[in-house]
Amino acid sequence: MNLFALNTPSITGEVLCPGDKSISQRAVIIGSLINQDMTIVGFLNGEDPISTINALNAIGSSIEINNTSVTIKQRETAFISPKEDVDLGNSGTGMRLMMGLISSLGINVRLVGDKSLSKRPMLRVSEPLNSMGANILCRDGMPPVQITKGNIKNNFSYDMPIASAQVKSSIIIAALAANESVTVKEKYQTRNHTEKMIDYFGGSIKSEIIDQENVIYLSPSKLDITKPYKVVGDFSSAAFLIVAGLIAKESNIIVKNVGINPTRSGLIDILKSMGGEISIRNQEIICNEEVADIHVQSSALKGINIKGSIIPNIIDEIPVLSIAAAFADGQTTISEASELRVKESDRLSAISYGLNSIGKSHELFEDGIKINGSKDDISGIPEIDSFGDHRIAMSFLVASLRSSEGIHVRDCANIFTSFPGFIDVMQSLGVSINET
C-alpha cells in the first residue's frame, strides 16, 4: 500500500490515543500465565498484538478479541506443544516475550515470523535464557526459533550488555512462569511495563538504583486478577501526533489518554528543550501506569544534542524526532543509538534516505545522525521508501505538513502493525492522506 499526503497548513482537534502496543502484548501474555478469567479493555487491535494472541492460542490459551476488548478464559489444561510452527508475523516484541514464556512451560515450540522479523537478532534473548536453563536454538542468531523443554534456574542473575526492555522482560517472564527468583541489572533503565504489570497483579517485584545501575528483583509470585485491566494510550503512537502539532504552521491539538510512563515519555522533555509548546493535562494513574492528555501547538524549534541514558527511553521515537529536527533551527545530533540498526529496518539508514529525499542536509554515523535543520518547506513531491517499517512510514507522512505539494510514501501496509487508525486520526485533524 502506497500513500500520498498533501500539504496541510493547519491542524486542529482532539483525538484519542490508541492502546499501547507493548502493554497490550504483555497483558495477554501475563494474563494467560495467571490463568484466570480476565478482561482487557483499550487493547490495541493491531497486527502485532493480534499475532501475539494467535501465538498464545496456538499453545493452549483461550483468548478472544472484539475490537479493543479482549477476554481470556481460564484454561482447564496445561499449555501444549503445537503441531505446527507458531507465526509471530512482524512482532519482535511478541517473539521475544514468547521466548521467555515458552522456555518455562515444558513444551516444544518453533517460532517463525515474516521476512522482516526473520532478519532480527534473537541471540540477545536466547543466550541469557539458555544460561538461565532454557533450551533454545536460532538459525544464524535469527528466527526460526526452536524451543524445547528446559529447566529454569532459581536465583539467576543477568547483567544486561545492551539496553533492551524486550530482553529484560523475556528473562523476567521466564522466571515468573517457572515460579523462580531472578535479578536483572541494566545500565540504563528501559521501559518498565512488565515490572509495573506484575506489581499491579500482586507479584513480588521491585527495582532500585545501585552503583548507577537499575537492578530488578523478582521473587516467586502468585498473581491475581481482581478487575479488568485497562491499557493506556501508546506514547509511541502519540509521538507522531505531537510532532505533527509542533511542525505544522498552525496547530492546536489535544491527544487524550496518552501513557506517560517516565521510562517511555522522554521525548516530551526533549521536544520541550527544543522549544516545543507542549502541556500535560488531567494526569492520573490507571493500572499502575501514568496517563494524561497532551496539548500541542505550533512551535519554533531549535536543534540540540541528544545522547546517553535518554536514548533507550526514546529509541522508538527517534524516526519522528528526526522529522522535528529537520524543521528546527540549527543542528541536532543524535548519538549512541546503534540499536536503531536492528529494528524493523536499519532505521538510521532509512531516516537518512528519507531526509535525502526531502532535501534536508544531514550526516549519518554508525550510531547516530546529525541533522542540519532549517525552517524551509519541502519542495516538489518527494517519494519515500518506508523499507517496510511502520515508524519510518508514519514519520515521513507527518513531514508532509511542511511540504509544498505533498509526499508519496511507499510500502505503508506496515502501519497496521502498530497504529491501525493512523490515517483516520490524521484525517480527523485535517491532514489529507490517501492511497495511491
Render pLDDT for 354-378 as a digit per residue (tens, 0 to 9).
Answer: 999 999 999 999 999 999 999 999 9
Fold match between domain 3-19+232-435 and domain 21-220 = yes
Eight-class DSSP state of 313: H
Residues 142/169, Cβ–Cβ less than 8 Å:
no
Measure the CA–CA gap between 187 and 367, rounded to whole angstroms.
18
Domain spans in the chain, listed from the N-terminal domain onward = 3-19+232-435, 21-220
Residue 406 has pLDDT above 90, yes or no: yes
Q: What percent of the chain has pLDDT over 90?
A: 96
**Catalytic site includes residue 316:** yes
Beta strands in 211-266 (DSSP E): 213-218, 229-230, 250-259
Residue of 20, 114, 293, 316 with catalytic role:
316
The CATH superfamily of 21-220 is Enolpyruvate transferase domain (3.65.10.10)
The whole-number pLDDT of residue 226 equals 87
The whole-number pLDDT of residue 4 equals 97
| Residue 391's pLDDT band (cuts 50, 70, 90) | very high
3-19+232-435 maps to which CATH number? Answer: 3.65.10.10
pLDDT in tens, 185-221: 999 999 999 999 999 999 999 999 999 999 999 999 9
Residues 344/92, Cβ–Cβ less than 8 Å:
yes
The whole-number pLDDT of residue 9 equals 84
User: Taking all residues of the chain, what is their mean pLDDT, rounded to a whole number?
Assistant: 96
Q: Put the strands of the sheet holding 156-159 in their side by side order.
A: 156-159, 182-186, 213-218, 205-210
The whole-number pLDDT of residue 161 equals 95
Eight-class DSSP state of 233: B
Name the pTM for this structure. 0.94
Burial degree of 157 (CB within 10 A; 0-12, 13-18, 19+):
middle
Residue 67 has pLDDT above 90, yes or no: yes
| Residue 344's pLDDT band (cuts 50, 70, 90) | confident
- Bridge-based pairing state of the strands 330-334 and 305-306: parallel
Count of CB atoms situated within 10 Å of the CB of 9:
11
Place of cell 497483558: 27
Q: Which helix (H) or strand (E) holds 142?
A: strand 142-148
Measure the CA–CA gap between 347 and 349, rounded to whole angstroms.
5
Q: Put the strands of the sheet holding 305-306 in their side by side order.
A: 305-306, 330-334, 369-373, 362-364
